[in-house]
Structure 1
């Protein structure tokens, strides 16, 4: 266990230093996830007529929470792994005494730490421009939100890493992720809260993994009605499903990779 933590701290420190070399790029990454802030203005105007159960302030808080969730859960592992396969960079990592996935995990966690100051700055600017939306969630909501956000990141990471395994068979594994992202975009709650979906549509969407990666943690933070037990159990269930798929594709793909002379 002591050796594990020592290796983990070494990887995190190395990748954190690496991320700090690209501070300007980090700012662009943070801003690239600002779609929820743009959509917030649209939904605030739509809520003025009272056609929804949510008020303009509720929409503002929700999309701000979505913005925070997106900062925590953004993942790019499929493109990195695809490049490693195509360029043969996976071979030297297979010689190391750790699973290559830990390099990607360390890079993602370190990037969150490096982008935190920029995210905090944007939050301060938001509340200065829209002070009506300022609120202080309870400690319980903050704890559940952080727990749900971490699980959402794990689910998003394992899901995308599973698609990355297809790089053993095709050079465009990222195309699968791009297609999957369309469903993620419209069904996760990033475009609109699941709360405003028709009841029949909402029941179907809640059976997929998408709403638990954005809408579920965001709704917890702002206090919208959610089924906590179903939400957390669904997240753990989908994580286990994609984890099993990932390990299966990894073992079979690795044999194929070795067979290609790597």
Structure 2
């Protein structure tokens, strides 16, 4: 009953947010450009280093799409509500605050994916990046888990707004970790040994590079079940962390607000 009600509320909020964001297509296009710049830079660099390796092209085309489907902006859509006090209204509603945050997140991702699809297709055609249907199918659960991980990570960092007004710097640092260790700056297989091990053990690879590697089919050659298990492990870790930080943040917010 509770689950069904939550899904119903999320669906209603998602429809509402999709319609609201439909009038901001110019701003959404700037978000698309922002999302694809880093993967395109990585594509140009590593394609120049390995001009005869088609796997590089497939990998970075997949990275572009994964990035569009997993981008999160809770430092804007959530943290600003803490700063201007409007989160008080959310706390008084008879539903979890995360419903509204998720609805906005999913709506923005849907628009970014739709508006960014031409970029992905253009990059794929220009590089002759052919994808097999089976690797792409296998990558879908990994993409979904990556989307969850990026949301939880960004939401976790965005809750720093309960304690500091420097939340954008905090989230920006977290985004740089995803860029450096998640497989966008370079496929982790091309990193030197100490950094390769760190990236492979960190949650950031599961947010970006892992689903792209599975979709590309090469260089990823590990166990798909192990890959999903690795992502699920970090999902559980982040859920616990978000829950703990949320409780501490709300206690601080209500104490200061009173």
TM-score normalised per structure 1:
0.89
Name the counterpart of 1:4. Answer: 6
CA RMSD of aligned residues (A): 1.8
Unmatched 5+ residue regions in structure 1?
A: 49-54
Unmatched 5+ residue regions in structure 2?
A: none
Name the counterpart of 2:109. Answer: 112
Q: Distance in 1 between matches of 2:198 and 2:106?
A: 32
1:74-93 matches, within 5 Å, as 74-93=71-90
| Secondary structure of residue in 2 paired with 1:154 | helix
Partners of 2:79 and 2:167 within 8 A in 1: yes
**2:157 counterpart (150, 158, 163):** 163
1:238 aligns with 2:255: no
Partners of 1:58 and 1:222 within 8 A in 2: yes
CA displacement at 1:150 relative to structure 2? 1.1
CA displacement at 1:128 relative to structure 2? 4.0
Partners of 1:78 and 1:173 within 8 A in 2: yes
1:96 aligns with 2:99: no
* C-alpha distance after superposition, 1:176-210 (max 9, x if no partner): 22222222211110011112123443223211111
Name the counterpart of 2:49. Answer: 46
Partners of 1:69 and 1:217 within 8 A in 2: yes
Note closer, same or farther for the CA distance 1:94–1:230 as it changes in structure 2 (3 Å cut): same
CA displacement at 1:162 relative to structure 2? 1.3
1:181-220 matches, within 5 Å, as 181-220=175-214
| Secondary structure of residue in 1 paired with 2:220 | coil
Note closer, same or farther for the CA distance 1:197–1:109 as it changes in structure 2 (3 Å cut): same
Name the counterpart of 1:25. Answer: 27
| Secondary structure of residue in 2 paired with 1:260 | helix
Q: Distance in 1 between matches of 2:194 and 2:250?
A: 42
Name the counterpart of 1:260. Answer: 256
Question: Highest Rg: 1 or 2?
Answer: 1
**1:175 counterpart (142, 164, 169):** 169
